[in-house]
Amino acid sequence: MTLTLSHGPLSAAPPPTVNYRVTGPAHRLFWHPFPRRVRALVGGETVLDTRGGHLLHETGLLPQLYVPTADVRSHLLRPSDHGTHCPFKGDAAYWSVHAGGRVVEDAVWAYPEPVEGAEWLRGYQALYWSAADAWFDEEEQVHGHLRDPYHRVDVRRSGSTVRVLLDGTPVAETSRPVLLSETGLPNRWYVPPEDVRLDLLTGSATRTVCPYKGTAHYWSFTGGAAGGVVDDVAWSYPEPLEEATRAAGFLCFDHERVTTEVDGRPVGPTRPAS
């Protein structure tokens, strides 16, 4: 995400505040070794197990893991008639995975003859993240996707006063928030639950997974004067990953659908958590 999305140096709109130029195609590829062992399981069987994986950073896309062909269990693969063409990488061949009584069609792909400038893809295969039942980074199971080494999360205690209103109704006010800064995303303010009008909110069944912060639980606003409901307007991480532990249990509100004031000044919209 850091390199390829938002205003990263490999994005479609890199920042103008640099003293260099990136020459070459507008669609950029960056091939970088992944530093740890990665495994993927389908139907309880290991489909790939590698210490030689590489992340392909590609403009506008999340990084994709490619692993040496020797690290993929070839006896679990069946060639597919499916094929795709990428002008930046070449013609892709596909395989279906047959493992543990499961069949996952077109789950693995490779570029047997990559185009000029992407020759390093030869001899590597990739597995769709959603095709596997479980992924492991060393011995820890990973949810969402592998973490990008160029992406980080910082959480800092703040002395600012944060006030949140929805449809004119005060929902939260605190002078002890934490500020979560995440690479490529706007700052987000998290409010202690003691400083939130929880009587105006109802827990939602919605869950999303962030590989950097953990599993988000959502809240809907149900206390409007007109009796309206605003679904999934706030979220929290009850059991965050290590980078976001300071925000554990705190609530963050979707700034696009509420009015958020920091030290008396409104802050701009943010994207919902993901």
The whole-angstrom separation of Cα 249 and Cα 109 is 40
Q: How confident is the model at residue 187 (pLDDT cuts 50, 70, 90)?
A: very high
Q: How confident is the model at residue 272 (pLDDT cuts 50, 70, 90)?
A: very low
Q: Distance between alpha carbon 72 and the CA centroid of its chain, in Å?
A: 25
30-54 pLDDT tens trace: 999 999 999 999 999 999 999 999 9
* Paired residues of 240 in beta bridges: none
> 29-142: CATH homologous superfamily?
Domain of unknown function (DUF427) (2.170.150.40)
Nearest to 131 by CA among 29, 45, 35, 52: 45
What's the pLDDT at 91? 98
- Asked if residue 8 lies in contact with residue 56, where contact means CB atoms within 8 angstroms, the answer is no
Nearest to 235 by CA among 211, 215, 262, 263: 215
Answer whether residue 88 shows pLDDT above 70: yes
Two domains, one topology: 29-142 and 153-266? yes
Q: In what order do the strands lie in the sheet with 201-210?
A: 201-210, 214-221, 230-236, 251-253
The whole-angstrom separation of Cα 7 and Cα 68 is 31
Instruction: Give the CATH class of 153-266.
Output: mainly beta
The whole-angstrom separation of Cα 157 and Cα 109 is 45
Q: How confident is the model at residue 15 (pLDDT cuts 50, 70, 90)?
A: confident
Domain boundaries defined on the chain: 29-142, 153-266
At which residue do the structure tokens 């260099």 appear?
20
